[in-house]
Chain A
Amino acid sequence: MKNETRVERKSEREIVITRTFNASARIVFEAWTKAELFRRWWVPKSSGITLLSCEMDVRRGGSYRFVFEHAPEPMAFFGRYLEVSPYSRLVWTNDESGDAGQISTLTLEDHGDTTRIVLHELYPSAEALEAAKGSYDGMPESFGQLDALLAG
């Protein structure tokens, strides 16, 4: 049984994603902070997108850069780590959209055999979040109507 991914829009500029994993916080944190592990899941196979490179300097002030295959030229996502607290918290910026990028805060709650993660995405303004929505327009649609919202 897959664990459920919940997405909630908390306010006009905040989105909160929650999920439980069947592993300790240490394992989940490592999968999020070691490039060779991270690159295996961040771009799901089902997306059909190829990750060309993945560089991560996971420490406070360190930067990251992911480059994806994209026509006519590759697309880069990059930012900086603002906080790195092993096994409990990771905060990073998303700088590819200039000042409109969100600040992502990942919190890990260790419950022994399972870990609940909360990924909080805070956009600088409601407009920035609106603009970000456009990047999901190309994604496949299939929805059980109210499910996503009512699950919250």
Chain B
Amino acid sequence: MVQFQRTAQLDAAFAALADATRRGVLEQLGRTDASITDLAERFDMTLTGMKKHVGVLEDAGLVATAKVGRVRTCRLGPRQLDEVTAWINRYRQMWSARFDELDHVIEDMKQKEKERAQR
């Protein structure tokens, strides 16, 4: 059950990250905590629109909010984000390493074709 909840939360996290505004919000919160009003202004959105985005991020465990007086402050929920990025990063590293090798193979091929053309 715990495993299932974790997977469900990861799925929610990926869905949450599929939106450019929400990725922007995470990036912004990575720099500093912000209120929903701050975020709405920064991303040129209505308060209602931003509340929705923050709600999706909060459901996914990517963002935590706390209400202080009349202001709701948002900050990153760090652990879940690490889980999401860790896997994507490993995947990217693998492809990046492959493609960097492919660059060498391609340079070799170009060099050989050049030599052949000069002959």
Contacts and interface: CB of A to CB of B under 8 A. Distances in A.
A19 interface: yes
B90 A23 contact: no
Given A31-B109, A150-B27, A44 B100 contact: yes
Contacts of A71: none
A136 B90 contact: yes
B109 A30 contact: yes
The size bracket of the interface on B is 35 or more
A145 B30 contact: yes
A15 B93 CA distance: 14
Given A22-B103, A136-B91, A146 B14 contact: no
A5 B99 contact: yes
Interface string B86-111: 11111111111111111111100110
B59 interface: no
Interface residues of A, number: 46
Nearest to A126: B11
Given A21-B102, A140-B93, A12 B7 contact: no
A9 interface: yes
Given A7-B91, A15-B91, A139-B93, A145 B14 contact: no
A40 B105 contact: yes
B95 A37 contact: no
Given A5-B99, A7-B92, A41-B102, A145 B17 contact: no
Interface string B64-100: 0000000000000000011011111111111111111
A151 B6 CA distance: 25
Interface of A: 2-3, 5-7, 9-12, 15, 17, 19, 21-23, 27-28, 30-31, 37, 40-47, 119, 126, 130, 133, 136-137, 139-143, 145-150, 152
Interface of B: 7, 10-11, 14-15, 17-18, 23, 26-27, 30, 81-82, 84-106, 109-110, 113
